[in-house]
Structure 1
Amino acid sequence: MSVNADRSYKMKLRDVENAFKYRRIPYPKRSVELIALLAISCTFFLFMHTNKLNSRLKEMEVKLQPSEFSALGLTGNHISGHDAGKHDDINTLHGTYQYLKSTGQRAHNVHAPRHSEDSHNHLHKAAHDHQLAMPANRHQLARDDLDYEDDEDEEEEEGYNLAADALNNTKNADVDFVFFNRVPKVGSQSLMELMRRLGKINGFVHARNPGSVKETVMMPKEGQKELIADLLTRPKPHVYSQHIAYINFTRFHLPRPIYINLVRDPIERIISWHYYVRARWYYKDMQAKLGMNSIAMPSDEFLDLDLDTCVRNGDPHCTFEQMQLKNPVGDHRRQTLFFCGMNKKLCMPFNSEMAMQKAKHTVESEYAVVGTWEDTNITLTVLEHYIPRFFRNAKVAYYLGEERLSKVNRNNVTRIVSEETRQLLRKNLTNEIEFYEFCKQRLYLQYAALGNGKRFGEDDYLLVPEQHGGKQSEDEY
């Protein structure tokens, strides 16, 4: 074959390849129409659903107005005191759920309250960990208390404990700051030592007031402002402890802390106090701490005076005059004062029913936890789960150092008090006793809401505290 013939053959072959490569394959006319119709249908479908979603969002925006919250009762503790007038601040998961349920909507993924950009004093809200685990025996809890209407609602609230949330005031705090306005002679030194240890574990600082010969329990308004300003400007998170009556931070339009405290049986507390201030080591310890500013060692007559004799002889240290404003030798007889507040006219009268009722209200509305070492394990469990940011691993830290904690500020003086004296004390401390029982009842309710500890895989000692070191030493401060 010649060269020209070979070239001609290759050109023809190339032409054939190009013909197949660039050939146009005609589509039936109906197929083109079908594709166009499908595209139009998809566009219309997306438009309709987008429009419906937009309508739902506008509907939600209208419903989330203050008037709706007022009608549903979602005010006060449910809405932050600083942002109560803002439309988009629902301050509790429980409140959000109840609102959405009342409007026929379901909240499957409610994780945190919304905040407007200019909302101040809420920067640490997320750290409070206020979602409490649903107890394992939640079906045994009262259905009315849990506000469940059907099994579907129970499934929606999986992992969220409404009963515990209703008793949890930690979520109402505005800052990561625990204020422990400790009552004397309730074991507060042990709790402070425990918090010091937990600070190293959970990443916070515990501080206390330096102390003085006389504690300032009641404070004028200006003094309160100065103390609050100092505490709120400290690095957070932190805990502060001081013998001082309850201070209402929001009264001064300042963020609310997390309030905690301890109480003790009023009879045992007075017995403990009587012998505590008659312990010779107490004055030696004070002299070592305060030097020339300390109190001189009292007479042997004072130090050796037993409570039975003191009460029987009507000694000023052992009198219990009802509604007395101030005992001239120093007033140690009541713990309601530390919860009633700074109103002297209302809170100072001894064994006052009004002061007791005010103290109850403050505990119920303001305090996250008011525990007692008389129920050690219950107190530690409630602290762990209602204030987890600060008290996570509290039981572990407590029992690892139980011997050290039980010796903090301990008075080894033997106290034998007659039943006659005890009966006289009970007769004169009726409202103090009622307040103490109220605080214990609330503590038990908080504990029961957690499922009596069974949800958390604890040992039996958690459920029977009195058999495992749950009773407070009478010598503890």
Structure 2
Amino acid sequence: MPGRFGLLAALLLLGAMLFVEHQIRKLEQARAKLERVIARREAQSSESRLAAEHRQLQQPQRLLLPPTQPEAALGPAAVAAASAPVQPPADDSNDVVIVYNRVPKTGSTSFTNVAYDLCGRNSFHVLHINTTRNSPIMSLHDQAKFVSNVTTWKEMKPGFYHGHLSFIDFTKFGVNRKPIYINVVRDPIERLISYYYFLRFGDDYRPGLRRRKQGDKKTFDECVREGGSDCSAEKLWLQIPFFCGHSSECWNPGNRWALEQAKTNLLSEYLLVGVTEELEDFIMLLEAALPRFFKGATSHYRSGKRSHLRRTVEKKPPSRESIQRLQQSRAWQMEKEFYEFVLEQFQFVRAHAVLERGGELFPLAQNYFYEKIYPRHREFHGDRRKAALLQQQQQQQQQQQQPPLP
């Protein structure tokens, strides 16, 4: 008899535990849904506000006739043309789109928060590309829709798109003007370790959010010794496919063609690719090259509270044995080669764009000008002298802004 009561009590306890676990899961799903709704509402509110500001700036103005030329002397056609609304002149700087197909755990949150902080001040739009389950691969029809959105959505220009998405070749879809691609990479083993602990303990950005592997206390070293899937060498294969694109070979770990294609895309399709370890220099170069978006970004990153916003919790350094085991894999060897290739390109660009003074880096002043401008018509001569004087004044201002040599 007591055995039956004990069995019944155990079954009741098990049922209660399953019920509680089910309720917890429902609450987590409800919270996640609520977070998505709030994020969507905030994005819609921001988009509506920016669109209203954009429409206000783009209001056409009416051209008034000079008082010295009465309407009767001009004729009906001239009067109609002069009274018609005048569209503002086209500004190429407003027809620019940046795509930041961010690699996970490379400092991308810190960088995108700089863009969010500057978008109101510098008058551009920031849009997050939220793919299902953070999948970096889009279907062909989704790629076509995304390309169409980016190139034709005038209300969202100038625009800064960011998301965990592998490279998309816009020329395949017949567009004339491609976006500007940028990205950041990180040492492959450091990136994998950070992602491993992030899945289990989260970070200081949203510490209360439940992660997919929460509750798993196993260290990275223990995972490597036991041959776990979350720390396997195949998990290193991520940065190359993000630059390689949507071809099947890109996602085959250790594929040599994928590595070479990633290098080719980096050189021909990306304006600038930085490294996590030198993120501030990456931001400074972007500010110098794209002030329409990143004016004031360097000082904001240095002084802002969100410069180092996202730090993985409970991250433990790996042992030498774990690192050596990963380094034996073909995936690591190629990812390391790609990382060093990116680092070499980035340092080359930086060496020809900045000046070091007093232990700090500053963008170089403009070191070119125009001369021997032809034809030598009178109407162009005065404009040429004005342009030369203006250029000289700008160079003097840039030199004055740079700190003196110590």
Secondary structure in 2 aligned to 1:462?
Answer: strand
Counterpart for residue 116 of structure 2: 196
Secondary structure in 1 aligned to 2:200?
Answer: coil
Counterpart for residue 243 of structure 2: 339
Residues 353 and 453 (structure 1 numbering): CA distance in 2 closer, same or farther, change over 3 Å? same
What amino acid does structure 2 have at the position aligned with 1:453? Answer: L
Counterpart for residue 98 of structure 2: 178
Task: Give how far 1:285 is off.
Answer: 4.8
Residues 334 and 411 (structure 1 numbering): CA distance in 2 closer, same or farther, change over 3 Å? same
Residues 352 and 283 (structure 1 numbering): CA distance in 2 closer, same or farther, change over 3 Å? farther
Counterpart for residue 268 of structure 1: 190
Counterpart for residue 461 of structure 1: 360
- Distance in 2, matches of 1:257 and 1:299, equals 38
Normalized per residue, which structure has more helix? 2
Task: Give how far 1:181 is off.
Answer: 0.7
* 1:286-332 deviation per Cα after TM superposition (whole angstroms, max 9, x unaligned): 56xxxxxxx7x6463xx2011111111111222225xxxxxxxxx56
How do residues 302-451 of structure 1 correspond to structure 2 at under 5 angstroms?
Answer: 303-320=216-233, 333-344=237-248, 346-401=249-304, 403-407=305-309, 409-428=310-329, 429-450=332-353
- Distance in 1, matches of 2:250 and 2:221, equals 28
* 1:53-96 deviation per Cα after TM superposition (whole angstroms, max 9, x unaligned): xxxxxxxxxxxxxxxxxxxxxxxxxxxxxxxxxxxxxxxxxxxx
Normalized per residue, which structure has more strand? 2
* 1:115-166 deviation per Cα after TM superposition (whole angstroms, max 9, x unaligned): xxxxxxxx654x29xxxxxxxxxxxxxxxxxxxxxxxxxxxxxxxxxxxxxx
* 1:330-385 deviation per Cα after TM superposition (whole angstroms, max 9, x unaligned): x56421111001111x2011132211110000000000111123013321222122
- Distance in 1, matches of 2:191 and 2:316, equals 12
Query: TM-score, length-normalised on structure 2?
Result: 0.61
| Contiguous gaps of at least 5 residues in structure 1 | 1-122, 129-174, 288-294, 322-330, 464-477
Residues 398 and 280 (structure 1 numbering): CA distance in 2 closer, same or farther, change over 3 Å? closer
Counterpart for residue 160 of structure 2: 239
Secondary structure in 1 aligned to 2:239?
Answer: coil
* 1:162-201 deviation per Cα after TM superposition (whole angstroms, max 9, x unaligned): xxxxxxxxxxxxx400011111010111111011122123
Secondary structure in 2 aligned to 1:404?
Answer: coil
- Distance in 1, matches of 2:180 and 2:351, equals 21
Task: Give how far 1:223 is off.
Answer: 1.1
How do residues 258-297 of structure 1 correspond to structure 2 at under 5 angstroms?
Answer: 258-279=180-201, 285-286=208-209
- Distance in 1, matches of 2:208 and 2:358, equals 39
- Distance in 2, matches of 1:201 and 1:298, equals 39
- Distance in 2, matches of 1:230 and 1:182, equals 19
8 Å Cα contact 2:280-2:301 kept in structure 1: no
- Distance in 1, matches of 2:352 and 2:214, equals 51
8 Å Cα contact 1:398-1:405 kept in structure 2: yes
- Distance in 2, matches of 1:191 and 1:275, equals 21
Counterpart for residue 109 of structure 1: none
Counterpart for residue 251 of structure 1: 172
How many residue pairs were aligned? 267
Query: TM-score, length-normalised on structure 1?
Result: 0.52
8 Å Cα contact 1:377-1:462 kept in structure 2: no
Task: Give how far 1:272 is off.
Answer: 0.4
8 Å Cα contact 1:339-1:363 kept in structure 2: yes
Q: Tell me how large the CA RMSD over aligned residues is.
A: 2.4
8 Å Cα contact 2:239-2:335 kept in structure 1: yes
Residues 354 and 191 (structure 1 numbering): CA distance in 2 closer, same or farther, change over 3 Å? same
8 Å Cα contact 1:208-1:242 kept in structure 2: yes
Which of residues 136, 148, 153 in structure 2 aligns to 1:217? 136
- Distance in 1, matches of 2:358 and 2:324, equals 38
Counterpart for residue 205 of structure 1: 125
- Specify the structure having the higher radius of gyration (Cα): 1
Task: Give how far 1:412 is off.
Answer: 2.3
| Contiguous gaps of at least 5 residues in structure 2 | 1-89, 363-406
- Distance in 2, matches of 1:431 and 1:274, equals 20
Counterpart for residue 107 of structure 2: 187
8 Å Cα contact 1:124-1:176 kept in structure 2: no
8 Å Cα contact 1:334-1:351 kept in structure 2: no
- Distance in 2, matches of 1:216 and 1:347, equals 14
State percent identity of aligned pairs.
31
